[in-house]
Copies of this chain bind each other. A is one copy, B any other.
Amino acid sequence: MSVGGSVAERAGAWASVRDRLRERGLRWTPQRRLMVDVLAQTDGHITGAELVERCRELDPATIPSTVYRTLDVLEQLGVIRHGHGRDGREEFHVLPQNEHGHLFCSGCSGSWDIEAPEASPLVRALRRQRGFAVDLSHLTVVGVCEDCSSDRGVARRS
Contacts and interface: CB of A to CB of B under 8 A. Distances in A.
Interface of A: 84, 88-90, 103, 105-106, 112, 118-119, 121-122, 124-126, 129-135, 138-146, 149
A131 B149 contact: yes
Give the copy number: 2
Contact of A132 (B126, B131, B144): B144
B135 A106 contact: yes
A149 B121 contact: no
Contacts of A139: 141-142
A143 B149 contact: no
A131 B84 CA distance: 23
Contacts of A132: 103, 105, 143-146
A145 to B, nearest CB: 5
Contact of A122 (B112, B140, B141, B149): B141
A63 B115 CA distance: 43
Contact of A143 (B112, B124, B135): B135
Contacts of A142: 134-135, 138-139
